Amino acid sequence: MTPLVESFGIAVRQSREAQGWSQEALAGHSNLNRSYVGEIERGKAIASLTTVEKLAGALGVAPSTLVIRGEAVNEQNLARFIKLTSIAC
């Protein structure tokens, strides 16, 4: 899996939790299978553009917004990694 797939999953989980929703609730609102939503959140399944659209629609944001949130998580992780590396070296 690419870093974006994992970061996207974290962004979906964060966005879902911000709504106070369970995975089941998000799955229901986005018309997706609950276990599939879980796999996406754990970075174990790669969402298609249609799935991104469904999740974003359920969460009340544009598909691009959800991708931007994934990219932001990715950048935060990268910044943390660089900081840890600079401490270790």
Q: Which is nearer to a second copy, 2 or 35 (CB)?
A: 2
Residue 25 interacting with a second copy (CB under 8 A): no
Per-residue burial over 49-61, b if 16 or more Cβ lie within 10 Å, else e, is eebbebbbebbee
Q: Among 19, 22, 64, 76, which residue sits at the site for a second copy (rule: CB under 8 A)?
A: 64
Q: Which of residues 37-56 bind a second copy (CB under 8 A)?
A: 46-50, 52-53
Closest contact distance (angstroms) between CB of 88 and a second copy is 29
Cβ(7)–Cβ(15) under 8 Å? no
DSSP 8-state class, residue 21:
-
Q: Which of 25, 36, 38, 63 binds a second copy (CB under 8 A)?
A: 63
CA–CA distance, 56 with 86 (Å, rounded to integer): 36
